Structure 1
Amino acid sequence: MNNIKNQFSIKDLENLTGIKAHTIRIWEKRYNLLEPKRTETNIRYYDLKSFQKLLNVSYLNNNGYKISKIAKMKEAEIPQLVREIAAETNLESHAINAFKLSMLNFDQALFYKTYSSLLKEKEFKAIFYDIFIPLLTEIGLLWQTDTITPAHEHFITTLIRQKILINTEIIQSKQTNKSTKTFVLYLPDNEIHELGLMFINHQLVSKGYHSIFLGQSVPIESLVELQNYYDEIIYLSYFTVRPLKEDVLNYFNDFSNLVIKKPNTKFWVLGQILNDVDINQLPQNIKTFNSIQSLMEAL
């Protein structure tokens, strides 16, 4: 069964571009900017070409160009002008749009081309903070609203994962660890969203720390063994969907009772699940963070 999405409703376009459906309809009727198609049952839809054009039109509009002027441009002039503006200003917005288009078209070449262009202006750390984090946030919302399929999400996150791994390996191959602290990075049972944790691992390694990355779905019991190998451990995890909100405090208590056996052992956690947790109820030696940036600043 083919679940790949190549037809978009006006609501999909609103979710993907941030432009209200009402505005899209006005642009369509008044300026003929888009030409919706119809299914055999006479339902209106937009194709990938329409989505790409709307992204470009929105980009120009946000950079001071009036819709009336954009509407008079030839089709080929619009993307050319977008490229010229992106080369001078607002690189982040243009790159995020390009990555979205890459995702929707399953276009690896566009992903690599966009990433290579970014590398000319930014280091990998800045690309992740300025481009990938906002992009991943948008992708999460698009998935929740059924605008994209899981196939789209897996496609783009796999490519981002590759870049994190490559950049981490480059640092590790050149670095000699001298840190007395050991960071153990893992995700709890049934948690598979590891990109944030992978980037934290990259940042720890780049700062010279000894980092052990265990990855997805690790039971608490299996973490105890590491106490026999290292004297000063900071366990670090990222709660995106697991444990469930109602189970978080019990998870922390279990972790404290089973794993935190030595005074130099700590547990650092971040993730959206923690938004509803009263941090004043947390056991000693457990600390939470509201972002990757705040965690890095605590080092």
Structure 2
Amino acid sequence: MNEQGRKPLIDASFTQQVLFPIREVSRLTGVNAVTLRAWERRYGLIQPIRTDSGHRLYSQADIDDIRSILGWLERGVSVSKVGSILARSHAIAGHTSGASDAWLRWQHQIRLAVQCFDLVGLGRLYEEVFAACTLDQVFAEVFMPVWHDMAVRRGGYGQASEWLFLDQFLRSRVFARLQLAHGPRSRTVLLSPLPGQCHELELLVTSLILGSDETGVTPLVCGQPLQELALVCERLKPDALVLFSHQPPTAELTRQLTRLAAVLDCPLLLAGEAAEIAHDSLAGSPVACLGAQGDVMRQRLRQFLAGQLDT
């Protein structure tokens, strides 16, 4: 940082990058310049470099971050909370920088296949990524970033159709893997979306990621009434009920979750970005937070079912 708290001026490390002025970034992302400056000054979300004359220049990584921010804002996450989510994503990327080029290449190929509505080519890419990556990486680093980005930018002609094509493809493939994994397990978990707070694909992917050889995860359909979950659990008798959402729970929803936990015969857990955001506010309550990252969610679920993790 320089004396004004800004990023350094352009140096040799940026000379090979394509850099964009703020007006072009506004055109590409739909975020006006005033908002971009506010995100930089008030929240530190985007830190463009500066020319000698003080003009802002943004890298492709900055543009990707802006689109990620839009995705979280669309889900109801406040702008003040987005910074911690981005920081965690950047930290993960920093530990896996050697693989990031491959992930970006696959993302580009996926976009091309979707633009052509190339089902065969998309299927070939899906199998290629699965053969080279872990389950978490397949979705968190390759497919879901493309899906999220396309979901945010559905305003242009043809973009909604392209997103629906990718969404349908991924739902069918994830559902097929869930069916293959279906079988007797020593423990069973129900996964339910909080009403109106996630897409079916996000729920299916989370079901796949949470499952293990010991634990079978059954997703409930989007639209499942929150007030009827006690009845569902009474009849199915799961070892735990996991609620999933990427949106921060309101004070009223937190009260509803506390009441629900009191009448359940099994533990109540929260997963997704909602669990990260609400972790402090739910501390000491009967609702346990699993987090949002695949490996962390699996570990915490396993520990909780084994009685090794408190709420």
Q: If the TM-score is normalised by the length of the shorter chain, which range does it land in?
A: 0.5 to 0.7
Name 1:254's counterpart in structure 2. Answer: 256
Task: Map 1:215-234 to 2 at 5 A.
Answer: 215-229=221-235, 233-234=239-240
- In the superposition, the TM-score normalised over structure 1's length comes to 0.58
1:92 alignment partner, SS class:
helix
**2:269 matched to which residue of 1?**
267
Counterpart secondary structure, 1:237: strand
Identity %: 10
Q: Distance in 2 between matches of 1:89 and 1:201?
A: 25
For the residue of structure 1 that corresponds to 2:296, the secondary structure is helix
Sort the Cα spacing of 1:147 and 1:131 in 2 relative to 1 into closer, same or farther, 3 A: farther
- Of 156, 159, 184, the residue aligned with 1:149 is 159
Note the 1:1-299 alignment, pairs <5 A.
Answer: 20-21=19-20, 90-122=101-133, 124-143=135-154, 149-172=159-182, 175-179=183-187, 182-229=188-235, 233-240=239-246, 248-262=250-264, 264-271=266-273, 277=278, 279-281=280-282, 284-288=285-289, 289-298=291-300, 299=302
SS of the residue corresponding to residue 186 of structure 2 reads coil
Change (3 A) 1:213 1:252: same
- Equivalent pair of 1:193/1:240 in contact (CA under 8 Å): no
SS of 2:271 mapped into structure 1: strand
Q: By how many angstroms is 1:276 displaced? A: 5.5
1:260, 1:266 within 8 Å by CA — same for their partners in 2?
A: no
Distance 1:147 1:260, change over 3 A: farther
The CA deviation at 1:248 is: 2.1
Q: 2:4 matched to which residue of 1?
A: none
**Matched letter for residue 295 of structure 1:** M
Secondary structure at the counterpart of residue 236 of structure 1? strand
The aligned counterpart of 1:52 is: none
CA distance in 1, matches of 2:265, 2:176: 35
Structure 1: runs of 5 or more not aligned:
1-17, 26-57, 59-87
Paired residue type of 2:103: E
8 Å CA contact 1:106, 1:155 repeated in 2: yes
Q: Which runs of 4+ in 1 moved over 6 A?
A: none
Judging changes above 3 Å, is the alpha-carbon distance between structure 1 residues 183 and 93 closer, same or farther for their aligned structure 2 residues? Answer: same
Question: Counterpart of 1:163 in 2: which secondary structure?
Answer: helix
> In the TM superposition, what whole-angstrom CA distance separates every residue of 1:269-299 from its partner, at most 9, and x where no partner exists?
323x566647335672213314333212212
Preserved CA contact (<8 Å) 1:186 1:217: no
The alignment partner of 2:211 has SS state of: helix
SS in structure 2 of the partner of residue 189 of structure 1: coil
8 Å CA contact 1:187–1:239 kept in 2: the answer is yes
Amino acid at match of 1:285: P
Which amino acid in structure 2 is aligned with residue 286 of structure 1? V
Q: In 2, distance between residues paired with 1:21 and 1:89?
A: 22
Distance 1:116 1:221, change over 3 A: same
What SS is found at the alignment partner of 2:258? Answer: helix
Distance of 1:20 and 1:146 partners within structure 2: 24
Q: Cα deviation per residue 1:55-98 (whole Å; 9 max; x = unaligned)?
A: xxx9xxxxxxxxxxxxxxxxxxxxxxxxxxxxx99432221101
How much has 1:239 moved relative to structure 2? 1.7
2:220 counterpart SS class: strand
Which one-letter code corresponds to 2:211 in the other structure?
V
Displacement of 1:100 in angstroms is 0.9
Q: Deviations over 1:160-186 (max 9, x none)?
A: 1111111121222xx43222xx31111
2:210–2:297 contact (8 Å) kept in structure 1: no
Which residue does the alignment assign to 1:5? none
Larger radius of gyration: 1
Give the direction of change, closer, same or farther, for the CA distance of 1:205–1:160 in structure 2 (3 Å limit): same
Give the C-alpha shift of residue 193 in structure 1.
Answer: 0.9
Question: How many residues of Structure 1 are paired with residues of Structure 2 in the alignment?
Answer: 210
Structure-2 change in CA distance of 1:280 and 1:89 (3 Å): closer
Give the C-alpha shift of residue 200 in structure 1: 2.3
